[in-house]
Amino acid sequence: MAQQNIFDNEVFFDGYKKLRDQEVNANILFEIPALSSLLPDLEGKEILDLGCGFGEHCVDYVKRGAKRVVGIDLSEKMLEVARKENADPKIEYLRLPIEELDKVSGTFDVVISSLAFHYVEDYAGVVKKIYEKMNAGAVFVFSQEHPFTTTYSNKLPRWTRDENGKKIYINLADYGVEGERTSTWFVDNFIVYHRMFSTIVNELAQNGFVIEKMIEPTPDEELLAKYPEYYDLFHKPDFLLVRARK
């Protein structure tokens, strides 16, 4: 199975990096704080980061006391930035697709993945491999695009708006049809894999995980007053985050 390596596409990479470099974006305001809130105490822990990207999270885990961090990513462009800007003696960066995480040596106390699983076709296979890579009692924390987001394709406008252009509700179609979705994001033929909420949860349970908490981030009153455009998240959360234990 060939893995998508869209992040090594020059146009996509440049567009994505500019988005992530903005001082205010949904990742900074919602995904990163939610992910951080789900993490256990990392002091002395060995951590595997799946889809580590630019490596900012890996450095943060070391600052939190991690003994060893292994970050894997398929994108050489991402890893170039990680090795240059987020290097540390306790961090090892490997160019591997998430689907081949079993090639990483050792087992881990914590496995973390930030916004990568919607690029993985064989979710069931990956969950099984993660479980096998974890020590007894280890914690698995991940975020991904919300299933209401991954179901979207180019078939319909994403939003229905009122006469003033205000978004009033999201348009959903084929939520129960799982599989590949193709859309345009910086480039044409951008691919994600849609799975229903139940599939995401059931695969974890069937592979032996105990699900401890889930978060679908929405803005609080203070954030909404500052950034009213994020009222959208009450219609459709952008992210789903899960914490599970072996």
What b-and-e string marks burial along 210-230, b requiring 16 or more CB atoms within 10 Å of the CB?
Answer: eeeeebbbbbeeeeeeeeeeb
117 within 8 A of 90, measured Cβ to Cβ: no
Instruction: Report which listed range, 69-78, 143-152, 196-205, is most confident.
Output: 196-205
CA-CA-CA-CA torsion for 114, 103, 79, 30, nearest 10 degrees?
0
User: Rounded to an integer, what distance in angstroms lies between the CA atom of residue 80 and that of residue 137?
Assistant: 33
Residues 162-179 have pLDDT tens digits of 999 899 999 998 999 999
- At 45-59, the pLDDT tens digits run 999 999 998 899 999
Q: How far apart are CA 232 and CA 214, in angstroms?
A: 20
Can you read off the two tokens belonging to residue 67? 């003994």
- The CATH class, in words, for 6-146+196-245 is alpha beta
For 85-89, 95-99, 178-182, which range has the lowest pLDDT when averaged over its residues? 178-182
How do residues 24-53 score in pLDDT, each as one tens digit? 788 889 999 999 999 999 999 999 999 998
Which of 4-18, 143-157, 181-195 has the highest mean predicted lDDT (pLDDT)? 143-157
Q: How far is CA 74 from CA 4, 93, 129, 151, in A?
A: 9, 11, 17, 24
State yes or no: pLDDT of 1 exceeds 50: no
Q: Check whether 2 has a pLDDT greater than 50.
A: no
HSE value, Cβ hemisphere, 13 Å, CA-based, for 36: 14
Tokens encoding 21: 């470099």
Mean pLDDT for the stretch of residues 209-215: 98
Q: Which residues pair with 180 in a beta bridge?
A: 193
